[in-house]
Amino acid sequence: MPNALPAPPARSFHHAWDRRAGPRSTGSPTRVVVPRCTTDADLGPTTVVGMKLPLSLTVAGPAARAQFPALAAAAGLVVLRVGLVLLRPWPLALAVDHAFDDGSASGPDPLLVLGLAAAAGVLLSGAIGLLDMGSLRAAEGAAERIGAALRATMFQRTMTRSLRWHDRMRSGELVSRLTTDVGRVLDGVVALATSFLPDAVMLVGVLALLFAFDPELALIGLAVVPVLAAFAVRQRRLIKSAQQDARAESGRLAGTTTDLLRNVRAVQAFGRTDRASAVFGTRNRAVLDVELRAIDVDARWTPVADIVLAVGSALVLVVGGRHVLSGALTTGQLLVVLAYLRDLYSPVRGLTRLSAVLAKAGASATRVRDVLDNDEAVVDRPNARPAPRLIHEVHFERVGFSYEAAHPVLEDFDLRIAAGETVCLLGPSGIGKSTALHLLLRLYDVDAGRILIDGVDVRDCDQRSLRERFAFVPQDPWLLDATVAENIAFGNQDATRAGVVAAGRAALVDEFAGRLPQGYDTPLGEGGVRLSGGQRRRVAIARAAVSTAPMVLLDEPTASLDPESAAGVIEAIRSTTTNRTVLLVTHDRALASIADRVVTLSSSRPPARGQLQNAGRR
Ligand SMILES: Nc1ncnc2c1ncn2[C@@H]1O[C@H](COP(=O)(O)OP(=O)(O)OP(=O)(O)O)[C@@H](O)[C@H]1O
């Protein structure tokens, strides 16, 4: 891929985590997430010589273009197969006409004819089978590669989308789009490669042969095609709409399931397993209902198609039989016509099936497109510069922000933090303390005012360098399904093993890591489930310790800890924040006492101005 980013450098700790993180949450066992970096420029509208391609191919974008040779090879093999399929009725026709019908003594030995016809039949079938195998391999292989690239691009997009977007999008819904919807798009790509061209060639080929043989029979056979095509067009619309409903409902089920699984502890602790099952059951039934409706729409036309086809064949049999009786046609030729008729209907049916597959792929492609096209992101400005090293100060200058327009969280918020200072934000729950940290990290952009680092607006800094200026210890420690060491190393991608262990020692991780079965190499489970709350916080603080960022942001690091654990965490903070600028959010007076200055936010707006209280220096 021309715009592919270089893969991240393989570092021991991150590498192990990356490997585990890949396929964990994929739904389909056959479609595995292959993390590969692609850029935004990789995707764009796909047109070929001005012709608009189906959405399933368009959405697959440049990945589909890269696999075009393989897809073309698959299509070529299937066209070749069509040629052999057209030859297939002939051995039987020759056998019937020359081994059984031809009474002349001068004709070839009937047994020899039968033997040759049988051998030709076997050879043709064998060759058709081989071509099937080759085309399937080429098309499916190309589709899997397209799928891997598409998933990687989608994943990268979701990673860079603004948190406002993530706040609205449920993670289960995203997983469903990344797995099931991508799978359906791929089905569309495979069907296009292996069905459209060969079916069209077959249709034209069979029609030409039929007309050459017996124009009257050809016209009778052809009469059913417009009837079937009309049904197919109508079906396509109905299927697409039914599939859109089904995919939306499946996404909701995935969202609910992820939510319930993530909160299984709360569900059990509150004795709400029945309630959880009921919530799941409601969504599950909704999925069943829409899927059954979609199947019904899909299946409804099958008998109609069969009956129309059977009527066509019956008419040809009657009229063709009369032609045989009148001597205009041999029995073998009638058999060939009937076989061709079957072969004529097969591409017609194939094309209508393709239309159904494309309808499904189109419904899924819309959902994939929705993720890819969404440009709701915190973006770097065109002339974004590296963030300053923080030598002087951080300044929240009359900052205003709201998550929802009608409910401002911060208004006219003003705060200066000198380099090397430790400032503590106090204030009632929900006043916006954590929000202030998120704005400094530019997880969200301010609505009004500015945040300056050494006089430079954070919106003028490139995000990567900006975030390198901060070591963040969030309220929920955000541990990964990785080992203790890998989790600590997440704070600094250049961390060495010795650096990780030193950070662990400073953050008092040593105290419990020594008792874990594999020490620092013990996997912590999803979200760090194997650790206590205090232990999780210490790992998060060790992450800050291993980082070389000049400023540490701590969000309620002692919340819900017993006094002893809290004292341990405070000690860890003291030893890991020496000589760094610290912005600390807490309700804990003991922790607040380590700050140089305490700023109290109150609910009267503007919140922070002029409410500075001095606290003892550390
Ligand atoms: N992602 C979000 N979407 C919508 N509203 C949000 C979001 N995050 C926070 N809020 C709202 O913004 C307000 C400020 O939240 P914030 O987490 O900054 O408060 P806080 O002062 O840190 O509270 P606490 O001390 O309880 O952690 C709250 O009213 C909260 O409901």
Q: Each residue of 300-327: pLDDT tens digit?
A: 767 777 788 788 888 888 888 888 888 8
Alpha-carbon gap, residue 281 to 256, rounded angstroms = 10
pLDDT digits (tens, 9 = 90+) for 450-491: 999 999 999 999 888 898 899 988 888 788 878 999 989 888
Q: Is residue 141 classed exposed, middle or buried when 0-12, 13-18 and 19+ CB atoms within 10 A define those classes?
A: middle
pTM of the model: 0.65
Residue by residue, what is the 3-state secondary structure of 173-240?
HHHHHHHHHHHHHHHHHHHHHHHHHHHHHHHHHHHHHHHHHCHHHHHHHHHHHHHHHHHHHHHHHHHH
Report the amino acid identity of residue 610. Answer: G
pLDDT band at 35 (very low <50, low <70, confident <90, very high): very low
Name the residue at shortest CA distance from atom 5 of ligand 1: 403
What gap in Å lies between CA 475 and CA 489, rounded to an integer? 19
The mean per-residue pLDDT over the stretch 29-54 comes to: 33
Q: Which atom of ligand 1 is nearest to the CA of 427?
A: 21
The residue nearest atom 3 of ligand 1, judged by CA position, is 403
CB-ligand 1 contact for 367 (6 Å cutoff): no
- CATH superfamily for 393-600 is P-loop containing nucleotide triphosphate hydrolases (3.40.50.300)
Which whole number is the average pLDDT over 91-106?
68
- Count other C-beta atoms under 10 Å from residue 237's C-beta: 12
Indicate whether 588 pLDDT > 50: yes
Weakest mean pLDDT among 171-180, 194-203, 354-363: 194-203
Higher pLDDT among residues 616 and 453, named by residue? 453
Residue nearest to atom 1 of ligand 1 (CA): 167
Q: Is the CB of 429 under 6 A from ligand 1?
A: yes
Q: Which pLDDT does position 208 carry in this prediction?
A: 81
Mutate to test the pocket of ligand 1, among 403, 413, 443, 600 (most ligand atoms within 8 A of CB): 403
The pLDDT assigned to 347 comes to 73
Whole-angstrom distance, CA of residue 368 vs CA of residue 373: 9
Alpha carbon of 4 to ligand 1 centroid (Å): 38
Can you point out the beta strands (E) in 16-162? 47-48, 51-52
Please state, as a whole number, how many other Cβ atoms lie within 10 Å of the Cβ of residue 63.
24
Q: What percent of the chain has pLDDT over 70?
A: 83
Binding site membership of 437 for ligand 1 (Cβ less than 6 Å): no
Q: Are 294 and 313 in contact (CB under 8 A)?
A: no
Contacts of 425 (CB under 8 A, 6+ apart): 433, 436, 583, 584, 585, 586, 599, 600, 601
256 vs 605, higher pLDDT = 256
Report yes or no: 408 and 434 within 8 Å, Cβ to Cβ: no
Mean pLDDT of 601-606: 64
What is the rounded CA–CA span in Å between residue 145 and residue 32? Answer: 10
Q: Is 403 in the pocket of ligand 1 (CB under 6 A)?
A: yes
How confident is the model over 141-146, as a mean pLDDT? 85
Residue 357 Cα to ligand 1 midpoint, Å, equals 45
Provide mean pLDDT across the span 426-448. 90
Q: Is the pLDDT of residue 32 over 70?
A: no
What is the per-residue pLDDT for 203?
A: 79
What are the domain boundaries of the chain?
55-373, 393-600
Contact of 244 with 370, CB cutoff 8 Å: no
Strand partners, 230: none
pLDDT digit string (tens) for 276-304? 888 888 988 998 898 888 888 877 767 77
- The lowest-confidence range among 234-238, 278-282, 596-600 is 234-238
Decide: 430 in ligand 1 pocket, CB within 6 A: yes
CA distance linking residue 443 with residue 164, whole number of Å: 9
Contacts of 21-27 spanning 24+ positions with Cβ under 8 A: 21/480, 21/481, 24/481, 25/175, 26/175, 26/178, 26/179, 27/175, 27/176, 27/179, 27/180, 27/254
User: For the segment 515-539, what is each residue's pLDDT rounded down to a tens digit?
Assistant: 999 999 998 887 777 888 888 888 9
From atom 26 of ligand 1, which residue's Cα is the shortest distance away? Answer: 429
- pLDDT (0 to 100) of residue 99: 67
Q: Which is more confident, 16 or 364?
A: 364
For residue 555, what is the enclosing H or E element?
strand 551-555
Q: Return the ligand 1 atom nearest residue 431 CA.
A: 21
**DSSP helix/strand/coil, 106:** coil
Contact in structure between 309 and 345 (CB atoms under 8 Å): yes
Q: In whole angstroms, what is the distance from residue 599 CA to residue 544 CA?
A: 23
Residue with tokens 């003291």: 574
Q: Could you tell me if the CB of 344 is within 6 A of ligand 1?
A: no
- Give the chain's mean pLDDT: 78
- The CATH architecture assigned to 55-373 reads Up-down Bundle (1.20)
Strands 581-585 and 422-426, by their bridges, are parallel
Tell me which residue has tokens 């709701």: 376
Q: 370-398: buried (b, 16+ CB within 10 Å) or exposed (e) per residue?
A: ebbeeeebbebeeebeebbebeebbbbbb
Question: For residue 34, what pLDDT is reported?
Answer: 27
Helix (H, G, I), strand (E, B) or coil at 49: coil
Mutation choice for ligand 1 from 163, 401, 402, 409, CB with most ligand atoms inside 8 A:
409
Q: Which of 49-63, 247-261, 325-339 has the lowest mean pLDDT?
A: 49-63
Helix/strand/coil for 473: strand
Query: For 332-343, what is the mean pLDDT?
Result: 78
CB-based burial of residue 324 (10 Å sphere; 0-12 exposed, 13-18 middle, 19+ buried)?
Answer: middle
Read off the pLDDT of each residue in 338-364 and give the average, rounded to a whole number. 76
